[in-house]
């Protein structure tokens, strides 16, 4: 039972503040707060396929894989302000990634306002994005590196000829659309070559379509080669911390650690190299497609503040790697639309060490390859 709180109040009929006898005690009753939240438990309410459709992960992955990694950072020390439970915040954020609509999220999860939803998405996205150190990284051990490179050799296999050796990953950029983004100054800098506003996201992917590196802070008009030149992954190769090579398209310059296709292949070996290069590098284009199908908010557009947009992009990359590691299936409602890539302008680089390394690989691994009767490889 709530007890009255006793206060002393001056008698309104007596204006003599010096006379204590003119004060009276007035009981003020304070009503108990009502803690009302949606009692429906999504884990019990939705069947497995419906749960995956709405939250992009299985119930086991949400409860036992993702949630334990964010609880220490998201758990409140008290019940002040009636906070949502960490699992409800995570589900709300995952639902936003699946829709990119605050209205849909608020309609699915009762008693949560749009303002609260926005704050929760911002908070949880930041926490998940900080997990990139554990989940987005190059193989660390010699055995893992060798296994990774061997898979790329198999991916690039053409006929009876193995693919390009020594490949750590495939690199490319993709545009994440932004709409009505608050705080976006110098707006035209974000207009990309496809004519809409975006963040140009650079990624390196491994042979299982997992993210090995991601950069999600450059305006849409920034050229792919510029992003790579300023990226940490480039510096790691230059400084010798990474020893293999990456596969990139002709939007990048040919470097010792970045192999690009030949613009004008002249021999059978040149054509075989290009075929192997295309087959192995295709993994990142497929990976971008799977990533955006799993999290449709990346394709439909984000209207959050720019720092939150970057956190959402990195958070989706972290979750994608968790899904790949856990063999999580894509939901049945995932769009089958194929992303259409607009070619980036060729980089006119001087003939240097990168071209020499590429030519050495062609002579060593493809000049004597078993070409068969493939007409695409005939001179």
Contact 219, 228 (CB under 8 A): no
Rounded Cα distance between 257 and 247, Å, is 9
Rounded Cα distance between 316 and 211, Å, is 10
Burial of 110 (0-12, 13-18, 19+ CB in 10 A): exposed
Rg (CA), the chain: 28
Contact 23, 11 (CB under 8 A): yes
**What are the residues facing 28 on neighbouring strands?**
5
pLDDT of residue 75: 80
Read off the pLDDT of residues 122-178 as tens digits, 9 standing for 90 and up: 999 999 999 999 999 999 999 999 999 999 999 999 888 899 999 999 999 999 999
pLDDT of residue 67: 95
Read off the pLDDT of residues 56-115 as tens digits, 9 standing for 90 and up: 999 999 999 999 999 998 887 666 666 788 998 999 999 999 887 877 776 666 567 888
pLDDT of residue 240: 92
In 54-166, the DSSP E strands lie at none
Instruction: Name the nearest CA neighbour of 112 among 21, 38, 207.
Output: 38
DSSP 158: B
Rounded Cα distance between 45 and 47, Å, is 7
DSSP 25: E
Read off the pLDDT of residues 367-378 as tens digits, 9 standing for 90 and up: 876 445 554 554
Contact 311, 129 (CB under 8 A): yes
Q: Report the C-alpha dihedral over residues 156, 159, 161, 164, rounded to 10 degrees.
A: -10
pLDDT of residue 81: 63
Read off the pLDDT of residues 17-45 as tens digits, 9 standing for 90 and up: 455 555 556 566 666 655 555 457 888 88
What's the predicted TM-score (pTM) here? Answer: 0.83
Contact 204, 233 (CB under 8 A): yes
Contact 56, 295 (CB under 8 A): yes
Local confidence band at 11 (pLDDT 50, 70, 90 cut-offs): very low
Rounded Cα distance between 94 and 128, Å, is 11
pLDDT of residue 331: 80
Q: How does DSSP assign 81-104, residue by residue?
A: T-PPPHHHHHHHHHHHHHH--HHH
Helix (H) or strand (E) holding 360: helix 353-365
Q: Who contacts 340 (Cβ-Cβ below 8 Å, separation ≥6)? A: none
Read off the pLDDT of residues 269-316 as tens digits, 9 standing for 90 and up: 999 999 999 999 999 999 999 999 999 999 999 988 999 999 999 999
Please give the biggest Cα pair distance in the chain.
113
Contact 169, 280 (CB under 8 A): no
Instruction: Judge whether residue 321 has pLDDT over 60.
Output: yes
Helix (H) or strand (E) holding 50: helix 48-55
Q: Strand, coil or helix: what is 211?
A: strand
pLDDT of residue 274: 94
């Amino acid at each position: 039972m709530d007890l009255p709180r006793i206060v002393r109040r001056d008698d309104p009929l007596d204006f003599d503040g010096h006379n204590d006898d003119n004060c009276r005690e007035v009981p003020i009753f304070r009503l108990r707060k009502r803690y009302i939240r949606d009692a429906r438990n999504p884990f019990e309410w939705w069947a497995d396929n419906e749960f995956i459709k709405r939250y992009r992960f299985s119930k086991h992955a949400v409860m036992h894989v993702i949630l334990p990694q964010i609880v220490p950072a998201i758990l409140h020390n008290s019940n002040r302000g009636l906070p949502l439970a960490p699992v409800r915040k995570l589900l709300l954020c995952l639902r936003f990634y699946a829709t990119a609509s605050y209205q849909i999220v608020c309609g699915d999860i009762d008693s949560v306002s749009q303002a609260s939803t926005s704050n929760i998405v911002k908070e949880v996205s930041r926490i998940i994005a900080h997990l990139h150190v554990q989940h987005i990284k190059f193989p660390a051990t010699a055995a893992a590196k060798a296994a990774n490179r061997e898979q790329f050799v198999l991916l690039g296999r053409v006929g009876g000829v193995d693919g390009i050796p020594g490949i750590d990953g495939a690199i490319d950029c993709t545009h994440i659309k932004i709409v009505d983004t608050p705080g976006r100054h110098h707006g035209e800098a974000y207009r990309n070559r496809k004519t809409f506003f975006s963040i140009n996201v650079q990624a390196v992917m491994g042979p299982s379509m997992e993210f090995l590196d991601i950069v999600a802070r450059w305006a849409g008009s920034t050229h792919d080669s510029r992003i790579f030149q300023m990226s940490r992954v480039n510096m790691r190769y230059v400084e010798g911390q990474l020893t293999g090579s990456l596969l990139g398209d002709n939007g990048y310059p040919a470097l010792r650690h970045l192999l690009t296709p030949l613009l004008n292949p002249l021999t059978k070996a040149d054509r075989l190299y290009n075929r192997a290069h295309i087959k192995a590098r295709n993994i990142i284009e497929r990976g971008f497609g799977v990533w955006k199908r799993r999290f449709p908010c990346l394709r439909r557009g984000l209207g959050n503040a720019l720092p939150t947009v970057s956190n959402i992009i990195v958070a989706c990359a972290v979750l994608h790697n968790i899904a790949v590691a856990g063999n999580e299936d894509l939901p049945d409602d995932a769009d089958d639309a194929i992303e259409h890539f607009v070619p980036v302008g060729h980089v006119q680089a001087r003939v240097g060490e990168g071209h020499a390394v590429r030519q050495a690989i062609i002579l060593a691994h493809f000049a004597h390859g078993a070409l068969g009767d493939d007409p695409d490889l005939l001179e």
